[in-house]
Structure 1
Amino acid sequence: MSIYSELWSPKPLEIPQRSRLFCLEPIAVGSPYTESLSSYVNRLAQAHCLTSQKLVMGEIAPLILKDEDKSELLSKNLSHLLGNSDAKPAINGMREMTGKLVTVLEELTMRQNLRFLTLLSWKGMIHDQGLFRNYRAWCPCCWEEWKQKKKTIYEPLLWSFKDVEVCLIHKQRLVEVCPHCGSSLPVMARISPPGFCSRCYRWLGQGMIGEEEIEKYRVNIQGISELIALVPQLKYAPIPIELTRKLQLISSVFEQAMGQDLNFLGELWEILESLKIASIRNQNQPLHLVKLIIPVCEKAKISISQLFLLNFQELGNTLFENLGLKLTL
């Protein structure tokens, strides 16, 4: 075979697999400011020059509601897929629809990390009742700062939580109502441009105005932040029975501490009672993040990451050291 015939011989081209939608990278995954799934959907719609409603009902809904006619779905609003609540806060949580949205979006974008934009990894572990806000909330100073620095405008998952009332960075209270039109803004709307009101479409960022007292909010916000950032580090999905065993260990250590030093009595007694109820009587029930898990970690002087990442022996020895007990497992 001559060099010419070798060079010109037709060979099938190896074309990499293409995604149906842009393989848009989510923002800040693995950090406390991980992007929320609702924000990702809104940015994905913007990248395709579509409204959020057109993207969801035209591309996502047909793969979930397979028995319904695609052309009819296009004429329906988001509530047909996400529910009748105007807020649709569950999109960022751990419910069945959240899982379906993540599965379909990962298929359409060919990304494998979109579950990190939700609390799906904590399904069955953490009680989701009342965990999320009913409407959007935002730090106007964060958005203004990102705009000035030409960073991507998005909504962190952290802002979705009802117990996150302030921004620890700017010491500002999160805003829940558009300052221009006075509207409460749904988590998902027909048009939801990041950083703008979904009703009057005006910019929602602004500079700092005074400072809020944030210390009383710090423990809860830092605990929630850790939980969000922790998910990509987990080697496997958290197991409820493993968490129950760790909480029982913490309960035993608290009892040891109170037995050796009565000064711990007033500090640990109330949380110990809640801990016993959760770890012994209600073993199969999801646990309340803000009312139980975060306060227990605070009293035990451990982080959320230590609670879930340390093995049983490492956790025990850390607890003994933190509470000044000369014991080992």
Structure 2
Amino acid sequence: MPELWELSQLNIPERSILYHLDLSGVGTAYVESLTGYITRLAESHSVYPGVLMEREIAPLVAKQYAGANLHTIFSHTSALNGTGVMASDLVQAVNVLTSHHQLHLLTMLPWSGVLPSRALMRSTRVWCSRCYEEQRIDRDETYEPLLWTLNVVKICPIHQQLLCDRCPHCHESNLPLAWRSRTGHCSRCGEWLGNLSHASSKCKDFTETELEWHIWAANAVGELIAAAPTLAFKLPKENVANALRNCVQQLSEGNVAEFSRLIQAPKNTVWLWCKGKNLPQIETLIKVCFCLRISVLDLLTQDVITPIDDSVKLLPKSCLQKTRRAAVKLTDFDQVRSQLEAVLLDHTIPPPSLEAAARNLGYYRETLARNFRDLCRAISTKYDQYERVRYLKSIKKCCEEVRQVVLQLHRQGIYPSEARVSQHIAKPGHLRYKEVRLVLQETRKSLGLK
């Protein structure tokens, strides 16, 4: 009897138009941004993000942004990771193309009910060069965390260094999503941005309180981002007013004026928050929580918040008043040029970065770079070269240290595993660098060890 075949129709899942790339970091403080995901998506299809946006995404986005007005999207790419309509439209469009249904977690949309869009997102791209380099070493590909796109986050909480906002090679800024964006590379010149010799050391200029504030702010935002998948519904803005009224009651027995004095904020502004008339911007909200030493996540999601005690922590003065730096007037050009030349010829060790030099002279770095491009590039190059030499010396010293530790452990009859070696060297974190790991492997191999 011939074999019978089952001819019932197979249930084949519907295929997505674009690759269904895995989302990086969902449920952690380092979930990738939507603009970063689009950049990776374009790379996986071997096209520029601009081509992907033009041919696939723009036709699906709301009419006011699509077609002939594609330029509008690229002019406002900071909003694509935010809480507004542009972020929502883009999420829906990419959902259709990739069959992903968690893309809203790559934006601040889950918090749209309690966080106003004003001053929320950066208009330019920033990055941590050390994070890029570590991703390159430890992962198959790099990605750009949503955390970096928020205005209030100034430093990398992992490496405690200022986030970079200018390419160290061409000294140009990047849009969050440019036509030629490429993860980990400058969208202007295409150079790699993860070189450790370009790592910022400018956090050394912060006071202890300033550094504490910036770490607090970055971690507070990271806590919100990590908690986004757990939100069952859109939080109402009344949550903020209720929480602040609760804090006023506990700390100052309902006296708004006294509470305002404690958190160093205008009385009328605090009154409007407590009445639910206005929503505080995210930076302001984080400052309030910093002063009261309470979690921003708890403030937004819990019914009752209890400050640690009746005292408050004062903000650093730099967070209370913004000092304006001057623009370069035509009459100042010769004087400023002479000052920059003096910086370049100065033999102080370490040499100042361009940012530090600009701050010391009372100007914005961007202003100086625009008016004195060659001098600024030379100052940056001098600083980069110093940092590069310092980095290489540190790696060389660590390599020799690893070699000696491996030999010593072997003489003691102890297998020199990476974990054991890390316990005996001054900078165990250096084991993540390929040069140091290579020395570890080669030294073990020379001893007949695997």
For the pair shown, which has the larger CA radius of gyration, 1 or 2? 2
| CA gap 1:178/1:48 in 2 versus in 1, 3 angstroms | same
Q: How many angstroms apart in 2 are the aligned matches of 1:209 and 1:277?
A: 40
Matched, 1:102 2:91: yes
> Could you tell me how far apart the structure 2 residues matched to 1:149 and 1:257 are?
52
Asked whether 1:296 is paired with 2:295, we answer no
Q: State the 1:111 CA deviation.
A: 1.2
Distance 1:163 1:20, change over 3 A: same
Tell me if 1:256 matches 2:256: no
Distance 1:45 1:77 in 2: 20
* Residues 305 and 162 of structure 1, relative CA distance in 2, 3 Å threshold: closer
For residues 209 and 14 of structure 1, the distance between their equivalents in structure 2, rounded to whole angstroms, comes to: 54
1:1-329 pair list within 5 angstroms:
4-5=3-4, 8-65=5-62, 73=67, 78-80=70-72, 82=73, 85=75, 88-207=77-196, 208=199, 210=201, 212-213=203-204, 214-256=211-253, 268=262, 270-271=264-265, 273=267, 274-280=269-275, 283-291=276-284, 293-310=285-302, 312=303, 315-316=304-305, 318-319=306-307, 322-323=308-309
Q: Comparing both chains, which one has the higher relative contact order based on Cα–Cα distances under 8 Å and sequence gaps of 6 or more?
A: 1
Equivalent residues of 1:271, 1:295 under 8 A apart: no
Check conservation: 1:183, 1:199, Cα contact below 8 A.
Answer: yes
In 2, Cα distance between equivalents of 1:24 and 1:42: 11
Once the 2 structures are TM-superposed, how far is the Cα of residue 157 of structure 1 from its aligned partner?
1.0
Change (3 A) 1:223 1:97: same
SS of residue in 1 equivalent to 2:86: helix
Partners in 1 of 2:160 and 2:63 — Cα distance?
A: 46
3-state SS in 2 of match to 1:212? helix
Following superposition, the deviation at residue 98 of structure 1 comes to: 0.9
Structure 2 contact 220–297 (Cα < 8 Å) conserved: no
Match of 2:52, as an amino acid?
Answer: L
d(CA) in 1 for partners of 2:138, 2:292: 40
Q: Structure 1: which 5+ runs fail to align?
A: 259-263
SS of structure 1 residue aligned to 2:203: coil
Query: Do 2:174 and 2:188's aligned partners in 1 also have CA atoms closer than 8 Å?
Result: yes
- The residue identity in structure 2 corresponding to 1:296 is V
C-alpha deviation, 1:114, in angstroms: 0.7
Cα deviation per residue 1:150-171 (whole Å; 9 max; x = unaligned)? Answer: 3421111111122222212122
The alpha carbon displacement at 1:61 in A equals 1.0
Runs (4+) of structure 1 moved beyond 4 Å?
65-68, 208-211, 264-267
Structure 1 residue 266: Cα displacement: 9.5
Aligned residue type for 1:243? V
More helix by share: 2
Question: 1: CA distance between counterparts of 2:247 and 2:169?
Answer: 49
Return the alpha-carbon distance in structure 2 between the equivalents of residues 305 and 50 of structure 1. 39
- Paired amino acid for 2:26: V
2:60 and 2:280 map into 1 onto residues whose CA distance is 33
SS at match of 2:37: helix
- What amino acid sits opposite 1:323 in the alignment? D
Amino acid in structure 2 at the alignment position of 1:24? L
Task: Give yes or no for contact 1:53–1:78 (8 Å, CA) kept in 2.
Answer: no
Contact map agreement 2:58 2:70 (CA 8 A) in 1: no
Distance (whole Å) between structure 1 residues aligned to residue 161 and residue 78 of structure 2: 23
Q: Which one-letter code corresponds to 1:11 in the other structure?
A: S
1:217 Cα offset (Å): 1.3
Instruction: For residue 96 of structure 1, report the CA deviation from its aligned partner.
Output: 0.9
| Residue 302 to residue 17, structure 1, CA distance change in 2 (3 Å) | same
Residues 1:272 and 1:249: Cα distance change in structure 2 (over 3 Å):
farther
Separation in 2 of the partners of 1:13 and 1:100? 34
Unmatched 5+ residue regions in structure 2?
205-210, 312-450
Q: Note the C-alpha offset of 1:219.
A: 2.1
Superposition deviation, residue 209 in structure 1? 5.7
Paired letter, 2:9 = P
What is the aligned partner in structure 2 of residue 261 from structure 1? none
Instruction: Calculate the TM-score normalised by the size of structure 2.
Output: 0.61
RMSD over aligned Cα, in angstroms?
2.8
Distance 2:3 2:263 in 1: 86
SS across alignment from 1:235 = coil
Maintained 8 Å contact 2:240/2:279: no
Distance 1:54 1:61 in 2: 10
- Could you say what secondary structure the match of 1:4 adopts? coil
Distance 2:132 2:254 in 1: 46
